[in-house]
Structures are given as C-alpha cells and as structure tokens.
Structure 1
Amino acid sequence: MSWLERFEEPVRDVAARSRGAHWARAAFARITTPLLPDDYLHLANPLWSARELRGKVISVTQETEDTATIRIRPGWGFSFDYAPGQYVGIGVLMEGRWTWRSYSLTSAPGTGGAAEESDDKSIAITVKAMPEGFLSSHLVNGVHAGTVVRLAAPQGEFVLPEPLPAKILFVTAGSGITPIISMLRMIRHRKQHSDIRVVHSTPTPDDLLFADELAEMAADGVIDLHVQYTRAGSDNPGKVTPEVLADLVPDWRDRQTWACGPSGFLDALHHMYVDGGVGEHLHIERFALERGATGAQGGTVTFTKADRSIEVDGATTLLEAGEEAGVIMPFGCRMGICQSCVVMLDRGAVRDLRSGVEHVEGERIQTCVSAAAGDCTLDV
C-alpha cells in the first residue's frame, strides 16, 4: 500500500465532491482517529451526518387497528421539495441490522405530517402492518418517538402534472389511498380547483384511513367522494370492478386517472383503460412485489466471491437467498426502485418477479426483485 493509500484509508469508502475535499477529510480523520468526523457530528446531534440522510421519529399516531402515521423530522441534507405521490426510503435498526423499505409520503411539502399541523420541517408516512411485513409491523407497533432512522431521498413518478388536469379520477383500495392523500392535501393547501372524483374501497368503516379528512374535503367541495365497503355483508356492495367503476363514474374515459391498490385491482383497471382506448389516461402505483408460486423454478444460487451456495425456490429473491446464506449483499429499498442491489449475473438465468422477464448471464440484475430460474451464479 502506498503512502497516499495509507493516508486516505480512514475515508476510502466515503464519497467526496473533489480530490481536495477528500484529502481534507482524510487529514481530519487522521487527527481524530479512530473516530471519523461523522462520529463527532453524531455525538453533537444524531441527525447530523455528511454521509447519509437521517431523521428522528417525532410521533406515532394510530389511524386504525393495524395502521399508524409516523411523523419524522429529517436532519441535515434532506430536501423538502418532493412531489406529492412520491415515496421515501426508511431504514430502521432491528436486531443489529438496518432494515429498509419504501413508503409513500402522506405529508405534502410545506404542510407537515397532517393537514391540521403546519410544520414544513417534518414528513409523514402512513404504514399498514402486514402479516408478512417485518418492518411494517415494527413501525406500527414497535417504533417510538425519539427513534433515529435512516432516510433515502424522495423519488417516484406517480405525481400530478402542473397545471392540474380539468378532470381527475383517483381510484384506490386499502392503503392505496396513502399517496393520494398527499396529493389531495397539497391541492387543498394551494387552493387549486379541478373536477376531482375519488373512488376508494376498503373492507369496513373501521378500516377507512383518513376518514374525517376525506369527509371534510367532500363537504368543502374539494372532492366528490365515494367510499365502497367490500367485506361480505348485507350492507356492503362488494369490490370495485371495472363494471362498478363505469357505473360510478360514467365519464371515466374523459378523466386523467391515478390508481393505487392490490395488484389484481390494478390489473383489472389496466385492461379496462386499454380496452377503452384510453390507456394513456391511467397512472398506476404498485406497492408490493408480485411473487410467483412457491417452488416454481428456483435452483442453486452460487455467490462467487463469498464462495457459498444455497438451494432456493422460485419465490425467494436472490437478495433473501444471499442473506440466508450469510453473504453480505448490497441493498436499499428492497422493492426494485433504488438500484442499490444491482450485481452482475455471471451464469444461468433469473426471473424478474414483477414482470416475469428472464435475464441471462452477462446482464446486471436487481437481486431484490429477481429469483433463480434454474441454477445461477452471482458476482458477489
């Protein structure tokens, strides 16, 4: 190792904008060894970091029995110019590991975590605890005010254009209302005017998120609201199918539509709009990774650099396979969005669990949304 490499060793994994900045940081790191400058920043304030975005949970508010809104005050470096409808990555330290997921922002820029709370220094996400959701259950039932989390910058293309279309339709189901409420809060905050129809389905009145706020928006004429309760019962009309939607919104072809909810629900809407000749009017946000049937395909996954292998089924992601085999895997959002998990596929084939498309050796693939399509080898 050369003298320059030894000098820069304490900060070799830390990005810098210029060579001079890297040398200055290395010099300061040498003076403060064995601590890096970020370690001293963290001692002064846990939200200060030159290397990553952080935030502190300031409140957890129960919305329904299994859903909560988590308000977070971001630290240094977070940009509040996000667009309503975008999502944010959040990392929480659990059992010694940082676990990451992405959630739609339910706050709107400049309005804080809720419509009635004006706080342009906070953001909010509303999370539903899922039976298979390790982090979602912890966020709803285990995280407390004061918890420091890691953040990824807001991103996503599920946003409204400027100016607003003259006629808008929001079609959502369950927690699919979360990105839409951010849009509605911003529209109300800016006093924008448009013909907005909202069709939302949820099992029961107890499951309805933002019930009071939606009712208030409807009463004030901001939206024309229809809530459909889907759980079987004499008073419940059932799910919102394309046929039901066409009856509820006869002019749906004339409206720019934003839809979010379960995959089957969105697939039906997609076919409805394409068959109706207005596929370009439909904007979809999908939350969950769609997995194939357990046991379909699969194979032996070999990790070259780690010299380890593991047998997996066709519903286990390569990221999960690596972690189960004890391989250190790069990852970020774990939803196929942030590209942090991209590695080279050396041999074999893998299947993208979202689209079913197969990728072959020599391609770079996302391990968090890909599964083995037979035996394969990764450059990890």
Structure 2
Amino acid sequence: MTSMATRPPTGPPRRGALRDRLLRIAGAVTTPLLPEDYLDLVDPLRSGAALRGRILAVQPQTRDAATLTVRPGRGWLGHLPGQYVRLGVDVDGVRQWRAYSVTSAPQDRGATIQVTVKAIPDGVVSNHLVRRIRPGTIVQLDQAQGDFVLPPVVPQTILFLTAGSGITPVMGMLRSGAYRDRDVVLVHCAPTADDVIFGAELRDLAGRGAIRLVERHTDADGQLTVDDLADLVPDHLDRETWACGPVGLLDAVEGHWAAHQRTDRLHTERFRPTIVATGEGGEVTFTEAGVSVTSDGATPILDAAEAAGVLMPSGCRMGICYGCVLPLREGAVRDLRDGALTTAVPGDGVLIQTCVSAAAGACHIDH
C-alpha cells in the first residue's frame, strides 16, 4: 500500500494572516515610519490609535472664555461630572498639555464632550484655544481624571462656591442633573455680570427655581470673603460643599471650614498653574534609574545620559528612526535641529526624541 502525504490546504489565506502580511509589506515600504503613522493621517480617531479628539466647534462664552466641542477617538472611556481631561495641543510648533474640566454631561460612548477654557494673561495655551484654534483641529487627549465629583448618593443640601473658571467642573455637575429634588445654592464670583461663564444658563436655572444663584460681581461688590457667607448662605456650614476657584479664596474657605470642624463636608478643586522655567541646559533626572545629570544646552539628552551610565534606548541618533523616544514628565527641552521648545508640567508625559533634544532647564525623563 502506498502512503500519500497530506497536502496543505490551498484555499485563500485567513483574513488575519493576510492583514499581517500586508502590514509587514507596508512596514518595509514606509520605513522609518510605521503604517500606523499613515493611518493616523487618514483616521486619527480610529480604535487602537493614541487617544485624540477632533475640535468640532468653538463657541464664545464671554470676552475671554470659549467652549470647545470635541469628538474623542474610539478609545475614550467617558467621564464623571466634575472630572477634567488633559488636552495636548501644538502651539507654534511646541506641544503643550493643559487640564480642563469637562463641562458637558456624560453621554454614551461615541458622543462629543465639551471643555470650557478661560484665557489668562500671557497664557500660551488658553489664548490659543480661545482665540486661534479652528474646527477640524486634531488634539491629543488623556482619559478623564479627578475626584472632584458628586458621591453616588447626592446630598439633599448642596453649596457650590466658585469664582472665575472655577464654575466649569460645577457646570458639568449641574448639566448632569445634580439639582434635581435637591436644595442647591450656587455662589459665584466674577468681575462683572458679563464675565460670568454660562451666565445665561445659570440664570435660567435660577429663574426656574432649580437652584438658588448668588452672583458676586467683584468690580462693584469687592472680593467675596468667608464672613460674607454667613449673610449670603446662613446654613453654609451644614451643606455639603464643593468649592473651586483661585488659591486665595480656597485657602480662606478651607481655613473657615476647619475652624468650625466641618472639613468632612468640604471638597475643593484648585486650578494652580505650574510655571516651567526655561533656559540653556539644566539638570536632567531619569526617574526610574534614579540618576540626575547636569547637561548643557548643546548636548543631546541621549549622550548626557549614556555618559552618566544610564542605559538608553537608541537607534539612528539622527532623529529619524524614533528609537530613542521617551516621555518628558516635567520641564523643558529644546530640539537641536530647529530650536523648537517643548515643555511639560508634572504628569504630562510628552514624548521627545532624546537624540536630538537638549535640556532647556531642569527636566524629568521617565526612564
């Protein structure tokens, strides 16, 4: 009896195998870039890509504030009312990250979100977002963060105490229905009536009896003090309170609640800007390695690290292959090719090419 060898099937290749083969071929053709880099150009919000969002609309709120409507990519996991999202935007060739409260109510995945930005004097990112950004722009996103949120069981009596852009996380709570069947008082401070962000919407809620709104127009009435609260909201210490605004106001509020042993009823959110000092050279800290090295403004961070004994990822050493990319957690670096400055505040994790970037002040590299 003659045995016959089993022949492999000759049908069409499996879809997954064919896809993998095509990606390998595409990778060979597009080197040093990856096929994903080109897919990002065609469909930047696709599933599996780094989380991004597309600006759909920019709606002015006041003379120095605007609401951005953003469609997040498919990886967006949603948010809780009061949380914030870190947004990365390229301004004059430098990627900057800032955190902004989500002012829209949570919706089903795939829906849009809104963030409301107040331009501050000399604020590079805030002024860009309020005055220059246009619909269609792609921005970087992180998942929503923050614990300045309402508990699962909303208290019966609530005080919201806000000033300026401090209204933004509270607006997300109000739009989510925090006032329904509740006794809600909102005390809000702004220079004038026209400077009240969401002024028309808040006054409409008050007019319908959904909340009690107390506006303090500081240009005419002066700054709000904790002593004023006894008259404005006599039972303020008995209410569960969420306060958000300038550091001075929150310091006074925290001290007042502590003096009356009511800190368990107070929740605060601080908008504290971080100033990144830039210059020529500086101390570079590699957080995981626990090594710090002083580097001048002309030496690539990759070279400075290796000279200090830090094992670094690398490749072409020319800024082409992206084999040396690491997250900049905090500080500033300068691109040695064109002088472009990249800055990051704590927790940003902005990706930089260490072979063509030099320290432009103290900086921390996640490695």
- In 1, are the aligned partners of 2:83 and 2:148 still within 8 Å (CA)? yes
The amino acid that maps onto 1:212 is: A
Q: Deviations over 1:217-266 (max 9, x none)?
A: 111221111001001xxxx2211101001221111111110000000010
Q: Deviations over 1:29-49 (max 9, x none)?
A: 432122524234324323225
Single out whichever of 141-150 and 48-57 deviates more from structure 2.
48-57
Instruction: Give TM-score, length-normalised by structure 2.
Output: 0.72
Match of 1:266 in 2: 250
The amino acid that maps onto 2:125 is: L
Unaligned runs of 5+ residues in structure 2 are 1-16, 287-292, 298-328, 351-360
Question: Cα–Cα, structure 1 residues 144 and 303, in superposed 2: closer, same or farther, change >3 Å?
Answer: same
Is 2:201 the counterpart of 1:222? no
The amino acid that maps onto 1:259 is: A
**Which among 101, 125, 144 is matched to residue 115 of structure 2?**
125
The amino acid that maps onto 1:102 is: A
Single out whichever of 166-175 and 32-41 deviates more from structure 2.
32-41
**Which among 303, 318, 327 is matched to residue 284 of structure 2?**
303
* Residue 108 (structure 1) shift: 1.0
* Residue 78 (structure 1) shift: 1.0
**Which among 87, 91, 98 is matched to residue 90 of structure 1?**
87
Match of 1:3 in 2: none
Unaligned runs of 5+ residues in structure 1 are 1-22, 112-118, 295-299, 311-317, 342-370
Match of 2:182 in 1: 194
- The secondary structure found in structure 2 opposite 1:90 is strand
Larger RCO of the pair (alpha carbons < 8 Å, separation 6+): 2
- The secondary structure found in structure 1 opposite 2:59 is strand
2:23 and 2:213 map into 1 onto residues whose CA distance is: 58
* Percent identical residues: 42
Question: Cα–Cα, structure 1 residues 193 and 308, in superposed 2: closer, same or farther, change >3 Å?
Answer: same
- In 2, are the aligned partners of 1:69 and 1:124 still within 8 Å (CA)? yes
Q: CA RMSD in A?
A: 3.7
- In 1, are the aligned partners of 2:205 and 2:211 still within 8 Å (CA)? yes
1:330 and 1:25 map into 2 onto residues whose CA distance is: 37
- The secondary structure found in structure 1 opposite 2:229 is helix
- The secondary structure found in structure 1 opposite 2:213 is strand
**Which among 183, 186, 195 is matched to residue 207 of structure 1?**
195
* Residue 152 (structure 1) shift: 0.7
The amino acid that maps onto 1:151 is: L
1:241 and 1:105 map into 2 onto residues whose CA distance is: 28
* Residue 102 (structure 1) shift: 0.9
Q: How does 1:138-287 map to 2 (within 5 A)?
A: 138-187=128-177, 192-231=180-219, 236-287=220-271
- Which structure 1 residue ranges, 4+ long, deviate > 4 Å from structure 2? 23-29, 304-307, 321-332, 376-380
Match of 2:7 in 1: none
- In 1, are the aligned partners of 2:72 and 2:110 still within 8 Å (CA)? no
The amino acid that maps onto 1:95 is: D
Question: Cα–Cα, structure 1 residues 219 and 32, in superposed 2: closer, same or farther, change >3 Å?
Answer: same
In the alignment of these two chains, the number of paired residues is 301
- In 1, are the aligned partners of 2:332 and 2:341 still within 8 Å (CA)? no
Over alpha carbons, which structure has the higher Rg?
2
2:256 and 2:208 map into 1 onto residues whose CA distance is: 31
* Residue 302 (structure 1) shift: 2.4
Match of 1:101 in 2: 98
2:71 and 2:164 map into 1 onto residues whose CA distance is: 26
- In 1, are the aligned partners of 2:97 and 2:348 still within 8 Å (CA)? no
The amino acid that maps onto 2:284 is: F
**Which among 13, 27, 32 is matched to residue 26 of structure 2?**
32
* Residue 28 (structure 1) shift: 5.6
